[in-house]
Amino acid sequence: MAQPEYVIDEMISAKSIAARIEAMAKEIRASFKGTDKLIIVGLLRGSFVFIADLVRELDLPVEVDFLEASSYGDGMESSREVRILKDLRGEIGGRDVLLVEDIVDTGFTLKHVTELLNTRKPRRLETIALLDKPSRREVDIKATWTGFEIPDEFVVGYGIDYAQRNRNLPHIGKVRFTGG
Ligand code: PRP
């Protein structure tokens, strides 16, 4: 099926993202000071750019692991069913864990994944999301750290896709459908 035509308007610049990550990393470093090892869990695929920049700002002993969950497929609406497509390689029992999300929308993904990780009894589990769309929330959940609260716009870039494209944009852009 052909994709509708669209243009992408810049919403959050690469510079603003970098500054916000630096500020959040400072808080995270202070919060986890003294940890023997922080396990950073990236939620694939959308968080891969964010996690790469975030870990380089964290001057802490870290390990990185990934989990893949999917609720959207290639569509624009949440299916409300969160599937675990790829599980962690390592154990998190008794460890300090920071779960990294690109965006919290309905909240189903973050809720489902935090519940799953909590069954494995980490010592501490915190969450960080680069973007949050509070107006879309359907379940009561909020990340410990949020980069930017945004309105209900269709966003892409910095890891986030539209039908698997545009993940490589260095900034967050807003999709504007042009018709045709
Ligand atoms: C997107 C996004 C979040 C989730 C947020 O993932 O990366 O993980 O949806 O939506 P929710 O709060 O409504 O659950 P998607 O399923 O599109 O997979 P992707 O990260 O591989 O693009």
CATH number at residue 46: 3.40.50.2020
Domain count, the chain: 1
**Of 163, 38, 169, 168, which Cα lies nearest the Cα of 177?**
163
Residue 166 located in a structural domain:
no
Residue 52 located in a structural domain:
yes
pLDDT at 121 (0 to 100): 98
> In ligand 1, which atom is closest to the CA atom of 137?
12
The answer to whether residue 23 scores a pLDDT higher than 90 is yes
Tell me the residue range of the domain where 71 lies.
Answer: 13-150
Residue 178 located in a structural domain:
no
pLDDT at 179 (0 to 100): 81
Tell me 177's DSSP state: E
Residue 46 located in a structural domain:
yes
Residue 161 located in a structural domain:
no
Q: What is the pLDDT of residues 55-107, one digit of tens each?
A: 999 999 999 999 998 775 555 565 677 889 999 999 999 999 999 999 999 99
Residue 34 located in a structural domain:
yes
Ligand 1 pocket (Cβ < 6 Å) reads: 43-46, 70-72, 78, 101-110, 161
Asked about 105 being catalytic, the answer comes back as: yes
Report the residue among 45, 109, 142 best suited for mutation to probe ligand 1: largest number of ligand atoms under 8 A from its CB: 109
Tell me 120's DSSP state: T
Rounded to two decimals, the pTM is 0.94
Residue 88 located in a structural domain:
yes
Percent of the chain whose predicted confidence (pLDDT) is above 90? 87
Q: What angle do CA 120, 123, 128 make, to 5 degrees?
A: 85
